[in-house]
Amino acid sequence: MSQRLNSAAGCRKGYGFAIASPIWVGHLASTAQCVIERLNAVFSEEDLADPETGQYLTYNKASGVLITGNEDAAGHVLWAMQELGFTVPPNANAYWVGEAGPGASYVEAGGERHLYTNKTLVYTVHNLTYFARLLRDNPIPTNLKELGERAEAVSDPEEEEEERPEAGPDGRTAPSGLLWHNQSGGTSP
């Protein structure tokens, strides 16, 4: 549990959170993807939530993204951030894509002097800073515990899941009463 808490500690301390990543062959860097996956694993855990409101540790934090390689990926990351409970301000993504096809890298191409990239970067920094201060001084008052109770009051009770039989070696479950035969000659339900 301490490892999980340590990985959430950085998110808990600040009011802004940005992911920076190159895009290669249509994918985020594996480290950026791991950050998103790690946040997804812990963002709604009750022991990390606000004890009074049940707000996720990501609530009241602004989030944005910096990308090199493909602007479409910025939208995917921003969607993930809002899905995890962050507030995503307008124009919260900055990116540089350079020329299509092979060519110079960001540094080689002078990307730091590229007007469109610098505009999106200035917008992103300004809006993330503004929203981080806004959320710090005026936290979102949503009480997830109360809202959850209201939703339960107008919903059908959740059914308990049936216990499923153990899967066989190919991942499928055997029809009731049958056993799987494994390669070592043994059987399993």
Looking only at Cα atoms, what is the longest distance across the chain?
A: 69
Checking if the pLDDT of 14 tops 90, the result is: no
For 49-108, how does the pLDDT look when each residue is reduced to its tens digit (9 = 90+)?
999 999 999 999 999 998 887 566 777 888 999 999 999 999 998 877 766 556 666 677
**Are 87 and 63 within 8 A, CB to CB?**
yes
Q: In Å, how far are 38, 151, 154, 189 from 47, measured between CA atoms?
A: 16, 22, 26, 37
State the pLDDT at residue 43.
Answer: 83
What rounded mean pLDDT belongs to the chain? 80
Domain edges within the chain: 2-143
Structure-token pair, residue 25: 């062959």
Confirm or reject CATH 2.60.40 for domain 2-143, answering yes or no: no
Instruction: Output the six-digit token pair for 106.
Output: 């960001």
Please tell me the least confidently modeled range out of 13-22, 80-89, 105-114, 149-158. 105-114
pLDDT at 128: 95
Q: Which amino acid is at 67?
A: I
Give the per-residue pLDDT at 139. Answer: 95
Backbone torsions φ then ψ of 54, nearest 5 degrees: 75, 10
- Tokens of residue 68, six digits: 């090199």
Q: What is the mean pLDDT of residues 142-168?
A: 84
The pLDDT of residue 172 is above 50: yes
